[in-house]
Structure 1
Amino acid sequence: MSSHVLAVGEALVDEVHRPDGSAAEHPGGSIANVALTLGRLGRDVRLATWLGRDERGDAVRAWLAESDVALADGSDAAERTSVAVATLDDGGSATYEFDLTWRVPEETAAGPETLAVHTGSIAAVLEPGGSQVRALVEAARATATITYDPNARPVIMGSADAARERIETLVALSDVVKVSDEDLGWLYPGQDPVEAARAWRAGAAGGAARAPGQEGPALVVVTRGGDGAVALTAGGEVEVKAPAARVVDTVGAGDSFMGALIDGLWGHDLLGAARRDALRAIGPDTLSAILEQCVAVAAITVSRAGANPPRRAELEA
């Protein structure tokens, strides 16, 4: 088995309603979108998810296969394929309603060739899968880099108070965290998002006392939509601007950024538990180059309908 990334989380169908009254269905799901981005960038990626053996599930499977995303065994054992109803405003931003179930397929685990395990969003919160994700991540840390994107969905997660502890637990287990300024604003109202991210990186999520020997993530990246992103490490902070883009919708933009971030770290040999010290020592030039690719990928994604990230050739054209 070759070196790969294991993505663990939801794959579903996005039913998108536009301001003009039109509607369309697109395969999606936060973790599936990350896996799709990695596949389109030419990376070996496995997705452990929860799909039904139905027409919508068939559409998701075909969408993933077209981008060379392999499904983990047992990922098709759900009673039905989950659906997210996305309603777009005039600016292309989406609000969501969900009809879904989630669990981790049996026997899903990080093997010796798993460089990184990615999870986040609904998969890290909705039970019974949320507890299964945490156990998988705790075990995988011994051999793999852990990457996490909270990608908050209040409709599913409930109040910020209810979600905060679980999210902070995953942050503490992670090596790399990508989070939007909107998510941080929801979790910590009234607090500057970058200050909240600094607390995460320092191992003091939410201002809690740091446990003895606890280190925060090596890298926390805050995305700020059209204003770009800022990355925080022990050695300092790096900021990049977003390229100009014509926004069709923002569906999947943050997920494509996350996929590009994992790809960039992979390209610089910074994935795998054995590379944890090197990841912590990442320099500003390397980090800036990785982030420039991330914002370029996200800009292409927002210029298209649905979660439709670019392939490697489009970036190099």
Structure 2
Amino acid sequence: MTRPEPPVLVIGEALTDILCGPDGSRGARPGGSPANVALGLARLDHLVRLATRVGQDDNGRALLRHLLGSGVQLTDGSVVPGPSPTATAMLDEHGSATYTFDLHWDIAPSTLELVPGHLHTGSIATALSPGAPRVAAAVRAARTVSTVSYDPNLRPSLLGGAEAERPRVEAFVAASDVVKASQEDLAWLYPRRRPEEVAAGWAAAGPSLVVLTRGSASTGVFWRAGRCEVLVPAVPVVDTVGAGDAFMAGLLSGLLAAGLLGGLSAGTDATPRTRLRAATATRRLDATVAAALARANLVAALTCGRPGADPPTLAELAAHQAAVLP
């Protein structure tokens, strides 16, 4: 595969997931929603820079080995003195996780000067001050030169009420070309509306593509001219940690490979943004978008088959696809 140039820029938190099992077991693994997306893209052979905040402690050094070892590049100012953030994930008997957090979030001011090919952000990075306003400014700046994607990945324990959070989320949605949200995100944010209604409204008013994930149930796909359901492959689940992030990485990978995301060339009509809009201008789901969704579902499924946020490499993805072909 040809790597996209210039590289993808992901802005957001990297942290250590402390996994607590229903049997009392306890372990630590690198995580953080945007960092997981960056990791997933790098393992799928995309050039990725991550603007984050990693401390100079044992957890931070483990995070750096994890990210750099898979090819993620950290932007200047991402490593800072002090402890690295943590998220404690309580796993139930089905492998589903609920989280509590210990972190401080900010980014280096120089992040706003970076020019990405595609920018992705979401989760805590877009919600927690003092870093969130800088992330919003980076998205506004990037919007003029590149495509943008966003995953709310809401963490209610860190947030105000849904009514207070809604305008912030909607501003990021309006600035994005691609949005992924979970059923849980939208049920919390809009308790009186069906998640499908919200996703359809977002697609009609802003992004070219909105994807609604529902765990093992079918994935809802919404675009300006239509909507459809995409089946999720049935796989044995070890846990669901990082599954949504793996889905996001797989989706972005497929769209990047199809030329539907990337930098915007001045004076050029056939930019990735215009190609993505053209692909979502008919009632039938475009084949390139369908292929990207299939990649997203497979990447997420393979991640669920092993513990923690451990997305597959491009070689592992290809090997699995070859094994299931007749």
Same fold (TM over 0.5): yes
Matching residue within 245, 257, 260 for 1:267:
257
Partner of residue 139, structure 1: 141
Instruction: Give the conservation status (yes or no) of the 8 Å contact 1:93–1:249.
Output: yes
Which segment is superposed worse, 52-61 or 186-195?
Answer: 186-195
What is the Cα deviation at residue 284 of structure 1? 2.2
What is the identity, as a one-letter code, of the residue corresponding to 1:192? R
Would you say 1:256 and 2:246 are equivalent positions?
A: yes
**Alignment partner for residue 37 of structure 1, among 36, 40, 47?**
40
Contact 1:50–1:78, Cα closer than 8 Å, also in 2: no
Deviations 1:8-49 (A, max 9, x none): 000000001000100000000000000000010010000000
Does 1:277 find its partner at 2:267? no
Q: Does structure 2 retain, via aligned residues, the 8 Å contact 1:247–1:304?
A: yes
Give 3-state SS (helix, strand or coil) of 2:241's partner: coil
The match for 1:294 is: 296
Contact 2:5–2:117 (8 Å) recurs in 1: no
1-side partners of 2:117 and 2:229: how far apart? 26
Deviations 1:203-232 (A, max 9, x none): 2xxxxxxxxxxxx11111111111131211
Deviation at 1:2, TM superposition (A): 4.0
Matched ranges for 1:216-235 at <5 A: 216-235=206-225
For residues 174-253 of structure 1, the aligned pairs below 5 Å read: 174-203=176-205, 216-253=206-243
What's the offset of the Cα at 1:161? 1.7
| Contact 2:90–2:99 (Cα < 8 Å) also in 1 | yes
What are the within-5 Å matches in structure 2 for residues 55-70 of structure 1? Answer: 55-70=58-73
Match of 1:97 among 97, 100, 124: 100
Give me the whole-angstrom Cα distance separating, in 1, the residues matched to 2:102 and 2:229: 37
| 5+ long unaligned stretches in structure 2 | 265-270, 280-284, 320-326
Runs of 4+ in 1 over 3 A off after TM superposition: 109-112
In structure 2, relative to structure 1, the CA distance for the partners of 1:179 and 1:267 (3 Å cut) is: same
1:18 aligned onto 2:21 = yes
Matches of 1:218 and 1:30 in 2, distance apart? 22
CA distance in 2, matches of 1:256, 1:109: 26
**What is aligned with 1:208?**
none
1:140-185 deviation line (CA, Å, top 9, x unaligned): 1011111000001001113212211111111111111000111111
After TM superposition, the structure 1 stretch with the greater mean CA deviation from structure 2, 236-245 or 289-298, is 236-245
**Superposed displacement of residue 79, structure 1:** 2.5
Any stretches of 5+ residues in structure 1 without a counterpart? 204-215
Alpha-carbon distance in structure 2 between the residues aligned to 1:137 and 1:13: 26
Q: Identity of aligned pairs, percent?
A: 50
What is the CA-CA distance between 1:134 and the residue it aligns to?
Answer: 0.3
- Contact kept in structure 2, 1:238 and 1:288, CA below 8 Å: no
Aligned counterpart, 1:53: 56
Correspondences of 1:98-177 after superposition (within 5 Å): 98-109=101-112, 111-112=114-115, 114-177=116-179
Matched with 1:213 is: none
8 Å CA contact 1:110, 1:144 repeated in 2: no
TM-score by length of 1: 0.93
Report the aligned-residue RMSD: 1.3
